[in-house]
Amino acid sequence: MTRSSIFYWFVTPAILLALLYAAALSCILVFSLREHVPGSLVVGGWTVENFSFLLRPLLIAVFSDTALICLLTALATLLVGYPIAYALVRVRSSFLRATILIIAITPMFTGEITRTYSWLLVLGNSGFINAALLQLGLIAEPVQMMFTLPAVVLVLVHFTLPIMVIILATAISQIDPAYTKASESLGAGPLRSFWHVTLPLSAPGLIAGIITCFAWTFSAFATPQLIGGGKVNMIGNVVYQIGISSFNFPLAAVLSLAGVLFTIVLVGLMRFALRPLDHIRVG
């Protein structure tokens, strides 16, 4: 078997999946061009009127909120995930490494709904944090954490952390420890070595991690729905609220297409903005 035939075998499933995805998107595109008939699932004639909804202030606000939430989540996940990934790769004890790995990736094994409901019990007015603070006499009234943007970002960070840790750990494990030893032998302290050697060399992981978490968060639905309580909405929530739960499927199709396009454009822009990190050098 030649190299090129092996290549085709490997690529074929991806092509088939891409075709399937394109076919589904085409169906959604067709639906987006049909007229909604109130009180019926049967759609009317052809129209482009549905797309005018994208210019409504609600949609503009939701799209910008979504971008902001995704960016904050990606950056916060990076800050939390990097030390965990670093420890995962560099720690010598295999027991400790296994423990870190289990703690880091456990969130992946619980469903989004379960995870989100458990956060309700932590962040609520009578939840764990408020109960503890009240018990310690540090606050007189519960702190309002639920239904706020920071609470949504916090839970999304929990959601995306395993992805970031896995990507960063892979990147950090590719860095030869000899570089750090060399910098330390030349007089650099651990922090300086990290800043000038490890961090720059893990740049590919940083880029991949930020972009993946950014795109991953875009599809969030249950978390903003339950933790945001309607006060913090992302694109998925609006597709559900205005499109699906009111049976306006042509509008749901328009919003879904706009969401996909918006994600592609933003991820492309992020990739462009992060290009300087590709050329970063150890120094």
Partner 1 sequence: MSRLALSGTTALILLASSGVSLAQEVLRISSWGGGWRDLIAETIAAKFTENTGAEVEFITGGTIDRLNQAQLAAGAPESDVTFTTAHVGWLYQNSGLFEPLDMSRLSNADKLFDQAKISPGHVGVWSYVYTIVYVPDLVPDVRFDSWADLWSPALAGKIGLSDFDPSSIIAATAKMEGLGIEDWRQATDKLKALKPNVRAYFPSDAASEQLISTGETPVQVMLSMMAHQLRDQGIDLEIVIPKEGAVLNMDAIGIMKGTDKLDLAYAFIDAALDPEVQAKIVAIKKGGATVEGVEVPPEVAALPGVFLTPEQWQSEAIYVDPQLRAEKLTEWRTWFSEEMIAN
Q: Does 39 bind partner 1 (CB under 8 A)?
A: yes
User: Is residue 49 a contact partner of residue 133, using CB atoms and an 8 Å limit?
Assistant: no
Q: Does 74 bind partner 1 (CB under 8 A)?
A: no
Binding footprint of partner 1, residue count (CB under 8 A): 37
Q: Which residues contact 171 (CB under 8 A, 6 or more apart)?
A: 202, 204, 205, 206, 208, 209
Q: Does 73 bind partner 1 (CB under 8 A)?
A: no
Q: Does 127 bind partner 1 (CB under 8 A)?
A: yes
User: Is residue 201 a contact partner of residue 182, using CB atoms and an 8 Å limit?
Assistant: no
Query: Phi and psi of 33, rounded to 5°?
Result: -100, 10
Q: Does 56 bind partner 1 (CB under 8 A)?
A: yes
Cα within 13 Å of Cα(250), Cβ side: 22
Binding flags for partner 1, 203-232, as an x/- string (CB under 8 A) = ----------------------xx--xxx-
User: Which single residue is written with the structure tokens 């492309």?
Assistant: 268
CB of 76 to partner 1, least distance (A): 23
Residue 66 CA to residue 60 CA, distance in Å, equals 10
Q: In degrees, to the nearest 5, what angle opens at C-alpha 203 toward C-alphas 269 and 260? A: 30
Q: Does 145 bind partner 1 (CB under 8 A)?
A: no
CB of 110 to partner 1, least distance (A): 17
Residue 120 CA to residue 45 CA, distance in Å, equals 44
Q: Does 124 bind partner 1 (CB under 8 A)?
A: yes
- Angle of the 57-90 helix axis to the 94-105 helix axis, nearest 10: 170
Choose which of 52, 110, 125, 174 interacts with partner 1 (CB under 8 A).
Answer: 125
Task: Give the residue with the Cβ less far from partner 1, 147 or 262.
Answer: 147
Q: Which of residues 234-273 bind partner 1 (CB under 8 A)?
A: 237-238, 240-242, 244-248
> Which part of the chain contacts partner 1 (CB under 8 A), choosing from 84-92, 116-124, 155-163, 274-282?
116-124
Q: In degrees, to the nearest 5, what angle opens at C-alpha 213 toward C-alphas 212 and 218? A: 100
Residue 146 CA to residue 151 CA, distance in Å, equals 6
CB of 16 to partner 1, least distance (A): 22
Of the candidates 28, 54, 32, the residue with the CA atom closest to the CA atom of residue 250: 32
CB of 149 to partner 1, least distance (A): 14
Of the candidates 259, 269, 261, the residue with the CA atom closest to the CA atom of residue 233: 259
CB of 113 to partner 1, least distance (A): 9
CB of 21 to partner 1, least distance (A): 19
Contacting positions for partner 1 (CB under 8 A):
36, 38-42, 56-58, 61-62, 117, 120-121, 124-127, 144, 146-147, 225-226, 229-231, 233, 237-238, 240-242, 244-248
